[in-house]
Structure 1
């Protein structure tokens, strides 16, 4: 009887460890949005952009020495309300980076969203 109980405890502990490992992984989908935003948040997936599309981290995290190890939030430099210290406001920085790249992808024959509601999807 003891061995069954021990086996059950081992199985339960293994399950809990596996669950905690999954939830401890770095976040892949980020909601790009701030309070007072006019449109719904944008779901941004690092995995797609890095692995599938081969976008270098420095394209977005251009001020970080090693963005793969530690990256600042865009709003650290890009203010939500206004352009400051030669940095465009956050919305303009996102739109320039994202839309310009997406347009280049479309010109190369690859599908990438360029219209507001293609990224800012209503829930």
Structure 2
């Protein structure tokens, strides 16, 4: 083999290895299991979210779920763009304890302050994102098709 052929083959192999991580970072699963290792134990069954169905069938844009640190929708995202997991910003696993909410109210916190504190909690943020969208969809379409009850998204927990 000539020197040129060997160099060309080496460049091709290097490009294949370089492209692998790029492709892996941009692949989006059709169905996402909403399981997070930050939880020692899940209170309810794990939700399986059909990313493909929401995006393609329901025409839900990226910015309707994904947002920046100010809550502004990331409308310019394209399928496969690298995004943070919810837990990276909504860092506290679970829901906000009632005692925290009670303390906030006792200290005359505004509704906006209470909501901001709630959104620090991972489960609160996810539920707010999904349920508010489902409520809006149902109201707009005069239907009850988008689930809002726990058992409609969370399967029965296996014992």
Give yes or no for TM over 0.5. yes
Measured against the shorter chain, the TM-score band is 0.5 to 0.7
What is the alpha-carbon distance in structure 1 between the residues aligned to residue 151 and residue 64 of structure 2? Answer: 24
Q: 54, 71, 75: which one pairs with 2:87?
A: 75
What is the alpha-carbon distance in structure 2 between the residues aligned to residue 76 and residue 67 of structure 1? Answer: 20
What is the alpha-carbon distance in structure 1 between the residues aligned to residue 125 and residue 49 of structure 2? Answer: 15
Q: 132, 142, 150: which one pairs with 1:109?
A: 142
Corresponding residue of 1:13: none
**Which runs of 5 or more structure 1 residues have no equivalent in the other structure?**
1-23
**Which runs of 5 or more structure 2 residues have no equivalent in the other structure?**
1-23, 69-73, 97-115
Spell out the pairing of 1:4-43 with structure 2 (5 A cutoff). 26-34=28-36, 35=39, 36-43=41-48
Corresponding residue of 1:96: 128
TM-score (normalised: structure 1): 0.67
RMSD: 2.6
Alignment coverage as a number of residue pairs:
99
Spell out the pairing of 1:56-75 with structure 2 (5 A cutoff). 56-63=61-68, 66=77, 68=79, 69-75=81-87
* Contact 2:92–2:120 (CA under 8 A) maintained in structure 1: no
Q: Which moved more, 1:63-72 or 1:30-39?
A: 63-72
What is the alpha-carbon distance in structure 2 between the residues aligned to residue 60 and residue 49 of structure 1? Answer: 10
Corresponding residue of 1:120: 154
Q: Which has the higher contact order (CA 8 A, sep 6+)?
A: 2
Q: Which moved more, 1:74-83 or 1:110-119?
A: 74-83
TM-score (normalised: structure 2): 0.53
User: Residue 26 of structure 1: CA displacement?
Assistant: 3.4
Q: Cα deviation per residue 1:39-82 (whole Å; 9 max; x = unaligned)?
A: 01101011111111111112222126736311111111111337
